[in-house]
């Protein structure tokens, strides 16, 4: 966007420019220059963004346009917000014939697709960013995937037509399974785990590859290398168009959290939204009844959220997570097994090879041998992707 903006400014130096974006999936407002701003309105159907521009035809407001001519609101995407802003007091008054028809069609599609089919009941919430992965929080969805979901993966071939034999693990080898956290797109909430939940949490149908017999001192470096790397890895000896490890939302969230950790908050417009500082004294007694939700701080201040919520603390999400299993013969750590089978989503193979190259150092022969031996571990994308592994765990333990 900034590259485009610089070009536009060469030709239109005094023109008001308003950008609308959404790919990073967060609520955010940025000031590009004194006559230009950008608005993002959240992810999926969680937010309706509202923006108003005034006074931009009045020359006397030109020098202070940002503070006098702009307002934005992030409206929670629910029936209560919609009724409030359309000034309707009942569902009957709010509904329209066209809207009811659309709702019926969506319901029928959901019914035909069996999206409400329940496989079990999730006993508590698991969060992507609202639980501290680094500290091993039991509510962390990433920790849950590492400890309980990924270990279910087994070698299996579905569609190679004899081009490769089934991978046979060496029982004296350890196994490390790595996935990018961008393959996980939403929290897992307490309640029925439905077909819709499966697609909501992780909809991707990736296959699994394996680099067998990796020296364990090399394999143990892969996760740290990837988690210390940039979101789009660039290296003079490596392709620069590799897929991103984080989702757009996670990248944007981590960027904001990193900025907070490095620079702190220097003004009231930069502080995290605080319910008790914002609402009036007459509402303080009700603050404890507020639900958790978005508490947005952007470059225009902390008054953008249309509905006041309790603040939910967020934490950075790593680029990748890893499930490690000791060898069947009884070793219990990387240094207890000489070799490790390194398993990963095929989507991130370029990243895995990049990290392997770094871990191998100057031993180019070892790197070439390892990458040449990479094969499919499990190519049954319909049956063994993360979403379906999660479903299988629910069926086995929570049904």
Residue 177 lies in a domain: yes
Residue 369 lies in a domain: yes
234 and 132 share one domain: yes
Predicted local distance difference test score (pLDDT) of residue 261 = 61
Predicted local distance difference test score (pLDDT) of residue 243 = 54
Confidence check: pLDDT of 262 > 50: yes
Using alpha carbons, select from 51, 29, 50 the residue that is nearest to residue 40. Answer: 29
pLDDT in tens, 332-371: 545 567 999 999 999 999 999 999 999 999 999 999 999 9
Domains held by the chain: number: 3
pLDDT in tens, 27-61: 999 999 999 999 999 877 889 999 998 877 777 77
Using alpha carbons, select from 223, 231, 274 the residue that is nearest to residue 252. Answer: 231
pLDDT band at 23 (very low <50, low <70, confident <90, very high): confident
pLDDT in tens, 216-227: 999 999 999 999
Please report the beta strands in 147-282, taking only residues with DSSP state E, as ranges in sequence order.
Answer: 174-180, 191-194, 208-215
Q: What is the DSSP letter of 30?
A: E
Average pLDDT over residues 136-160: 94
- Separation in Å, CA 271 to CA 39, 86, 265, 283, 294: 19, 31, 6, 21, 14
145 and 279 share one domain: no
Q: Which residue, of 85, 112, 144, is where some domain finishes?
A: 85
Q: How far apart are CA 240 and CA 189, in angstroms?
A: 36
Residue 108 lies in a domain: no
180 and 307 share one domain: no
346 and 390 share one domain: yes
226 and 162 share one domain: yes
Predicted local distance difference test score (pLDDT) of residue 266 = 35
Q: How far apart are CA 125 and CA 198, in angstroms?
A: 15
Q: How far apart are CA 144 and CA 126, in angstroms?
A: 8
Confidence check: pLDDT of 160 > 90: no
Using alpha carbons, select from 143, 254, 146, 128 the residue that is nearest to residue 189. Answer: 128
Q: What is the DSSP letter of 283?
A: G
pLDDT band at 22 (very low <50, low <70, confident <90, very high): confident
Residue 322 near residue 293 (C-beta atoms within 8 A): no
The alpha carbon torsion through 187, 193, 199, 200 (nearest 10 deg) reads: -30
Residue 350 near residue 243 (C-beta atoms within 8 A): yes
299 and 183 share one domain: no
The 3-state DSSP class for residue 269 equals: helix
177 and 307 share one domain: no
36 and 183 share one domain: no
pLDDT band at 269 (very low <50, low <70, confident <90, very high): very low
Average pLDDT over residues 120-145: 96
225 and 262 share one domain: no
Residue 133 lies in a domain: yes
pLDDT in tens, 56-76: 777 777 778 888 888 999 999
221 and 142 share one domain: yes
pLDDT in tens, 75-131: 999 999 999 999 999 999 999 999 999 999 999 999 999 999 999 999 999 999 999
Predicted local distance difference test score (pLDDT) of residue 399 = 92
392 and 371 share one domain: yes
194 and 231 share one domain: yes
pLDDT band at 153 (very low <50, low <70, confident <90, very high): very high
Residue 92 lies in a domain: no
Q: Which residues of 195-221 are buried (b: 16+ CB within 10 A; e: fewer)?
A: bbbbebbbebebbbbbbbbbbbebbbb
Confidence check: pLDDT of 306 > 50: yes
Domain that holds residue 172: 120-246+319-397
What mean pLDDT value characterizes the chain? 85
């Amino acid at each position: 966007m900034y590259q485009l903006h610089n070009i536009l400014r060469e030709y239109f130096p005094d023109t008001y420019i308003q950008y609308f974006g959404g790919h990073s999936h967060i609520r955010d407002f940025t000031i590009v220059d004194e006559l230009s701003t950008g608005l993002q309105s959240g992810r999926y159907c969680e937010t309706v963004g509202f923006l108003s521009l005034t006074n931009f035809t009045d020359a006397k407001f030109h020098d202070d346009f940002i503070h006098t001519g702009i307002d934005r609101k992030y409206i929670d995407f629910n029936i209560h917000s919609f009724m409030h802003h359309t000034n309707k007091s009942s569902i009957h008054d709010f509904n329209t014939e066209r809207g009811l028809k659309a709702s019926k069609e969506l319901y029928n599609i959901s019914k035909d697709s069996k999206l409400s089919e329940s496989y079990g009941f999730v006993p508590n919430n698991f969060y992507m960013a609202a639980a501290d992965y680094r500290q091993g929080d039991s509510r962390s969805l990433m920790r849950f995937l590492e400890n309980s979901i990924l270990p279910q993966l087994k070698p299996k071939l579905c569609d190679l037509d004899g081009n490769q034999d089934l991978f046979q693990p060496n029982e004296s080898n350890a196994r490390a399974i790595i996935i990018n956290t961008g393959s996980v797109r939403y929290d897992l909430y307490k309640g029925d785990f439905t077909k819709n939940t499966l697609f909501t949490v992780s909809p991707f149908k990736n296959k699994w590859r394996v680099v067998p017999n990796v020296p364990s001192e090399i394999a143990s470096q892969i996760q740290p290398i990837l988690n210390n790397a940039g979101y789009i890895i660039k290296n003079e000896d490596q392709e620069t168009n590799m897929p991103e490890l984080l989702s757009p939302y996670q990248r944007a969230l981590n960027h904001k959290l990193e900025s907070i950790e490095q620079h702190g908050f220097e003004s009231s417009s930069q502080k995290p939204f605080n319910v008790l500082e914002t609402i009036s004294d007459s509402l303080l007694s009700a603050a404890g009844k507020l639900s958790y939700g978005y508490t947005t701080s952007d470059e225009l201040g902390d008054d953008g959220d249309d509905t006041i919520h309790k603040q939910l603390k967020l934490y950075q999400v790593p680029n990748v997570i890893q499930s490690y299993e000791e060898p069947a013969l009884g070793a219990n750590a990387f240094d207890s097994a000489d070799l490790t089978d390194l398993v990963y989503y095929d989507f991130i193979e370029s990243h895995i090879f990049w990290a392997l190259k770094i871990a191998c150092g100057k031993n180019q022969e070892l790197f070439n041998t390892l990458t040449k031996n990479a094969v499919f571990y499990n190519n049954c994308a319909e049956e063994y992707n993360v979403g379906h592994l999660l479903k299988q765990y629910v069926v086995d333990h929570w049904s």
